[in-house]
Structure 1
Amino acid sequence: MKKLYNIHLLLLTVPIFWGTSYVAAKIGMRDLLPLNLAIMRFVIASLLFSLILLLKKKDIYLDKKDIPQFFLLGFMAITFFYYIHYTGLQYTTSTNAGLIMATSPIFVALFCILTKQESVESHSLLGTCIAFIGVLLVITQGKISSLYHQKTLLGDSLIILNAMMWAWVTLNGKTVLGKYSPFVAMAYIHIFGTVLLLPFAFISTSLAEISLWQQLPAVGWSTILASAYLAIFCSVYSYFIWYLGVSKIGAVKTAAFNYFTPIMASLAGFTVFHEQMTGYIALGGFLVTLGVYITNQKMKLSIGRFLPMRKYKHS
């Protein structure tokens, strides 16, 4: 019981780090372009992941035939995802970003309907509608007619794209998670995604007019610390604790802790940047959390249909 209690305490730290990552990213982008911040973060994270894999030694090697799949997942989950993510954060608030990213399970449900990979029941659709209304409230501040005039519209749209991309990664990641341990799979996704990012650290492109190599001399300590925070605590530590929780108490109970992430993002944005906390944000956040919870619960039930069930005889 004491060990389970400790696991729950550790899991409570994960949404703290993931929620505050939006604030850390905004601090890092004071000196670095979005793409360059992503490169710095994941170079540090990949080095740490590599070190842990070397220390782990057992079951860390990939089959050659799986390498293209890891490259694709690395590109979608790291390279492209975080370029869009950090670009979006430049044009929206930490509060909006945290709440919108919480809708990724909603897109998982929608993708399941489109691809027929998983059955989705009526309650899941209800959750989708509730969360969608919540996102609209957050983005428009209750004024739906002014949607296209919101200052955060571009950033919010990019974060919505992020949520869709993460849903895609979640579904397509099943192909490697069925063969490799979650930590090993996530480590290689980070490493391959970073490999794809590395060339951009030395060349200027339309994605980053100034390369990371050129920006490094002017980088301040706040940006270095923000990058290290994102790499160590938001990537390596959080993923390790997350999958430790999966192994100890199961995926269903562990996943419930993710509902605290948008709350922490809102609190962090309000505390550090004094971002406005309105009644619409509070109501929208509640609806997003409620909608995601409803959808997630029903998705778990539908997945259970495909699992072997024990038959009990009634006396």
Structure 2
Amino acid sequence: MNNIPPVVLLLLATILWGGNFVIGRAVANDLPPFTLAFLRWCVALIVLLPITFTALKRDWSQIKKHWIIVLILGFTGVASFNTLVYIALHYTTSINASLMNMLTPVIIYILSFIFLKEKLNRNQMIGTAISFIGVMTIISNGSLKTLQHFTFNKGDLIVIFAVILWSIYSLLVKQYAKELPGQSTFFVSITIGIIMLLPFYIHESFSTSMLIHWSVTSIFAILYTGILASIVAFIAWNTGVVRLGANRAGIYLNFIPVFASIFAVIFIGEKIISSQVIGGLLVVVGVYWTSRKINEAF
């Protein structure tokens, strides 16, 4: 991938991640959420093994030194985030779910303020408020009645919880980037996540209420999420970030709901409504506002 421009790599990653939301929605009635998550990461583990085997032996002592952090990474980033998104996609649209994912930078700022005692500047506080209004617009479908009676779609609420866990994962990756080697830690995190998902996968396999429907589509979904959305997107994103810089690369995450919306309309017949457009734009503005640099802090 060294010959590919970093912008192309970052766009490739967001295209593949945008497709992940649509795939999850498309096979919601064929593959139960824990089954899809478990099989996805099993495929990813198999593909990643020959890539990371040598590095894993070299990095093992460093990973063991921070085993609690790696355990949390496995729970939040592998076992929980995508599984909760797949559960949520039984109740909400892939467009809503992908739009909610844009909250990640804002939540990271909030978590850093609460747990790391990092100061919030005025722009971060304003941006957080704008993003919050955007999210409320999305999950209420722009209806004041929904806000008054607090009758939100439970799928949207599950996605918000998933994004909080993903933000914890992202914050830990950022905090321990120098102590933990990237690919080896990712491999071990996947292994931990698979172990955590195993009992839920077994339960779904024997459940009469959540039947698995094997088809070309369901097999494609497992291979897509396990290889393209997990491995290819991960390598493309990391390579692009290294070459372009984290700050400049971060804005490309906002392309995920763009591609997810396009795919959702084309392939599974979802419709974009005005509240999603308005709410999505507010979230983007909020995220942009929090990244603006000023000296004033609270």
Do both proteins adopt the same fold according to a TM-score greater than 0.5, normalized to the shorter chain?
A: yes
Counterpart AA for 2:129: C
In structure 2, C-alpha distance between the alignment counterparts of 1:253 and 1:92, rounded to whole Å: 31
User: Contact (CA 8 Å) 1:137, 1:281: kept in 2 or not?
Assistant: yes
Residues 31 and 152 from structure 1, CA distance in 2 versus in 1: closer, same or farther, beyond 3 angstroms? farther
| Aligned structure 1 segments of 4 or more residues deviating by more than 6 angstroms | 148-152
Residues 46 and 215 from structure 1, CA distance in 2 versus in 1: closer, same or farther, beyond 3 angstroms? farther
Deviation at 1:15, TM superposition (A): 1.0
Candidates 287, 291, 294, aligned match of 2:289: 294
Residue 279 (structure 2) aligns with: 284
Residues 189 and 157 from structure 1, CA distance in 2 versus in 1: closer, same or farther, beyond 3 angstroms? same
Residue 242 (structure 2) aligns with: 247
Counterpart AA for 2:52: L
Residue 155 (structure 1) aligns with: 155
State the TM-score, normalizing by the size of structure 1. 0.84
Residue 265 (structure 2) aligns with: 270
User: Contact (CA 8 Å) 1:15, 1:257: kept in 2 or not?
Assistant: yes
Candidates 223, 230, 248, aligned match of 1:235: 230
Deviation at 1:29, TM superposition (A): 2.5
User: Contact (CA 8 Å) 2:103, 2:163: kept in 1 or not?
Assistant: yes
Deviation at 1:22, TM superposition (A): 0.8
- Stretches of structure 2 that go unaligned for 5 or more consecutive residues are none
Residue 40 (structure 2) aligns with: 41
Q: What do residues 5-29 of structure 1 show as CA deviations (whole Å, max 9, x unaligned)?
A: 7221122111111111111112333
Residues 297 and 219 from structure 1, CA distance in 2 versus in 1: closer, same or farther, beyond 3 angstroms? farther
Counterpart AA for 2:51: I
In structure 2, C-alpha distance between the alignment counterparts of 1:137 and 1:18, rounded to whole Å: 23
Residues 229 and 92 from structure 1, CA distance in 2 versus in 1: closer, same or farther, beyond 3 angstroms? same
Structure with higher Rg: it is: 1
State the TM-score, normalizing by the size of structure 2. 0.88
In structure 2, C-alpha distance between the alignment counterparts of 1:170 and 1:57, rounded to whole Å: 21
In structure 2, C-alpha distance between the alignment counterparts of 1:134 and 1:111, rounded to whole Å: 19
In structure 1, C-alpha distance between the alignment counterparts of 2:158 and 2:145, rounded to whole Å: 20
Identity percentage of aligned residues = 27
In structure 1, C-alpha distance between the alignment counterparts of 2:292 and 2:190, rounded to whole Å: 29
In structure 2, C-alpha distance between the alignment counterparts of 1:50 and 1:211, rounded to whole Å: 31
In structure 2, C-alpha distance between the alignment counterparts of 1:242 and 1:211, rounded to whole Å: 37
Residues 174 and 126 from structure 1, CA distance in 2 versus in 1: closer, same or farther, beyond 3 angstroms? same
Deviation at 1:146, TM superposition (A): 1.6
User: Contact (CA 8 Å) 1:182, 1:243: kept in 2 or not?
Assistant: no
In structure 1, C-alpha distance between the alignment counterparts of 2:268 and 2:280, rounded to whole Å: 19
In structure 1, C-alpha distance between the alignment counterparts of 2:267 and 2:152, rounded to whole Å: 19
Residue 121 (structure 1) aligns with: 121
In structure 1, C-alpha distance between the alignment counterparts of 2:189 and 2:56, rounded to whole Å: 18
Counterpart AA for 1:51: P
SS of 1:61's partner is helix
Are 1:106 and 2:102 counterparts? no
SS of 2:66's partner is helix
SS of 2:142's partner is coil
Are 1:13 and 2:12 counterparts? yes
Counterpart AA for 2:188: Y
Q: What do residues 47-79 of structure 1 show as CA deviations (whole Å, max 9, x unaligned)?
A: 112221026578443432323321221012111
Deviation at 1:182, TM superposition (A): 2.7
* Cα-Cα RMSD: 2.6
In structure 2, C-alpha distance between the alignment counterparts of 1:81 and 1:133, rounded to whole Å: 23
SS of 2:48's partner is helix
Task: Map 1:182-221; keep pairs closer than 5 Å.
Answer: 182-202=182-202, 204=203, 208=204, 210=206, 218-221=213-216
In structure 1, C-alpha distance between the alignment counterparts of 2:164 and 2:136, rounded to whole Å: 16
Residues 100 and 172 from structure 1, CA distance in 2 versus in 1: closer, same or farther, beyond 3 angstroms? same
Counterpart AA for 1:200: F
SS of 1:70's partner is helix
In structure 2, C-alpha distance between the alignment counterparts of 1:297 and 1:17, rounded to whole Å: 28
User: Contact (CA 8 Å) 2:100, 2:163: kept in 1 or not?
Assistant: yes
Residue 22 (structure 2) aligns with: 23
User: Contact (CA 8 Å) 1:35, 1:82: kept in 2 or not?
Assistant: no
